């Protein structure tokens, strides 16, 4: 059930993290909630200010990359609200990896030397840099789990045609390079991330969020090489620490597994980690804002009137 009832609303969708309202089949009002998901499962308790962190980082990064490719965003009328153009989505997530980390490392550690049709070199350690960034796409599932997929299979299954795929691959690598530049200025390493694209008429647009802690992984650059040499865990800012906590407590989203208890202390820790990433990445003090539903709706209505 949608929390808001907006004039000219044509549809509503509640995702793992965001609530999306379509207006006149033309604009999207995207509200970043404080929900948190891992292994494609929404965890039972919200994380304070997470939605605001995601929305403000995404807006910052979309503005910083708009010269590379057009994107959907038009306005951010409230701390956790973005309004933008409705695109016809390509049902693919473009995952770009600069380091052998996370899902790629777990695959590699099982002895596999290919991921999404991309060959992986022998002799790599966890968190090592690839010789150049690789793209390991996944399907964009409406329900259930996203699945790894190769470029060839994407085209074969008509999730994107060959020309569109080449374009979004080119955009993805350019966006990742820009993201790494921005991170490097803040003494961070953008390790991996994902991008989603859609089309308006025949033009490709970048959609959704980019370079946030939900869609990306960051390492601290300071001490990275030393930690690699000593085979120590890298100090990171991302949602991976939540996944690691779940794995340690025997939860990976599989049937029969139970989400471990989320204590108030643990929820506060997660919230603080999100805020830490915001302040480190953006270089500004995070100012928490808690608007009422009435004030949020008022700002949305005013912003939509400006678009008419």
Angle (nearest 5°) at CA 10 between 6 and 11: 95
Q: What is the pLDDT of residue 59?
A: 97
Residue 307 pLDDT > 80: yes
Domains of the chain, earliest start first? 88-241 (3.30.470.20)
Lowest-confidence segment of 6-15, 65-74, 158-167, 169-178 by average pLDDT = 6-15
**Which residues partner with 89 through β-bridges?**
198
Compute the average pLDDT of residues 131-144. 83
Q: Which pLDDT band holds residue 141 (cuts at 50, 70, 90)?
A: low
Question: Is the confidence at residue 139, as pLDDT, over 60?
Answer: yes
For the stretch 95-112, pLDDT in tens is 999 999 989 999 999 999
Tell me what the mean pLDDT of segment 154-180 comes to.
Answer: 96
Separation between Cα atoms, residue 213 and residue 113, nearest integer Å: 27
Give the C-alpha distances (Å, rounded to integers) separating 249 from 45, 233, 244, 252: 17, 19, 9, 9
Contact 62, 73 (CB under 8 A): yes
Looking at every residue in the chain, the average pLDDT score rounds to: 93
CB atoms within 10 A of CB 135: 18
State yes or no: pLDDT of 169 exceeds 70.
yes
What is the pTM (predicted TM-score) of this model? 0.91
222-236 mean pLDDT: 95
């Amino acid at each position: 059930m949608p929390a808001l009832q907006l004039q000219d609303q044509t549809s509503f969708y509640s995702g793992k993290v965001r609530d999306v309202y379509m207006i006149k089949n033309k604009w999207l009002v995207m509200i970043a909630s404080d929900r948190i998901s891992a292994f494609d499962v929404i965890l039972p308790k919200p994380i304070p200010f997470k939605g605001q962190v995601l929305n403000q980082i995404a807006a910052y990064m979309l503005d910083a990359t708009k010269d590379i490719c057009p994107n959907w965003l038009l306005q951010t009328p409230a701390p956790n609200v973005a309004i933008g153009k409705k695109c016809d989505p390509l049902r693919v997530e473009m995952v770009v990896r600069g380091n052998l980390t996370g899902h790629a490392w777990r695959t590699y550690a099982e002895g596999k030397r290919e991921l999404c049709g991309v060959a992986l070199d022998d002799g790599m350690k966890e968190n090592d840099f690839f010789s150049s960034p690789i793209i390991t796409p996944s399907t964009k599932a409406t329900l259930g789990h996203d699945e790894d997929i190769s470029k060839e299979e994407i085209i074969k299954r008509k999730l994107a045609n060959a020309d569109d795929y080449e374009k979004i691959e080119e955009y993805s690598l350019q966006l990742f390079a820009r993201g790494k530049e921005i991170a490097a200025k803040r003494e961070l390493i953008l390790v991996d991330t994902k991008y989603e694209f859609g089309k308006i008429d025949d033009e490709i647009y970048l959609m959704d969020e980019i370079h946030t802690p939900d869609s990306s992984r960051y390492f601290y650059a300071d001490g990275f090489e030393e930690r690699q040499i000593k085979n120590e865990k890298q100090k990171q800012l991302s949602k991976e620490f939540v996944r690691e906590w779940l794995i340690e407590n025997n939860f990976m989203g599989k049937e029969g597994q139970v989400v471990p208890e989320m204590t108030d202390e643990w929820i506060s820790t997660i919230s603080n980690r999100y805020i830490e990433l915001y302040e480190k990445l953006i270089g500004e003090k995070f100012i928490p804002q808690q608007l009422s539903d009435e004030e949020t709706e008022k700002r949305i209505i005013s912003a939509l009137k400006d678009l008419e």
